[in-house]
């Protein structure tokens, strides 16, 4: 039982930094896709940019899980795959 608890704690300790470093990479990928141009209409493009900005803001406040979720939504709207 103690080993399982230790394993869970270890996983949580290493998961937070993984999310933290993932956010800026996703922002760069989204920015690169936007620079290339998309077939999205103005409303869709505005939603992608809103989600991108929201993800970046969440990252800066330390809410990395929420940041990744917002950034992945933006990537989905761009038709991109994400890890």
Model confidence pLDDT, tens digit, residues 35-59: 999 999 999 999 999 999 999 999 9
pLDDT at 15 over 50: no
Three-class DSSP category at 36: helix
Report pLDDT for 83: 73
- Residues contacting residue 68 through CB under 8 Å, at least 6 positions apart: 19, 22, 23, 26, 55
> Could you give the CA distance from residue 61 to residue 58 in angstroms, rounded to a whole number?
5
């Amino acid at each position: 039982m103690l080993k399982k608890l230790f394993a869970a704690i270890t996983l949580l300790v290493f998961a937070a930094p993984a999310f933290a470093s993932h956010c800026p990479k996703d922002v760069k990928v989204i920015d690169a896709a936007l620079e290339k141009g998309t077939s999205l209409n103005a409303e869709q493009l505005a939603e992608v940019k809103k989600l991108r900005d929201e993800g970046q803001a969440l990252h800066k406040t330390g809410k990395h899980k929420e940041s990744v979720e917002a950034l992945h939504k933006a990537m989905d709207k761009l038709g991109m795959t994400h890890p």
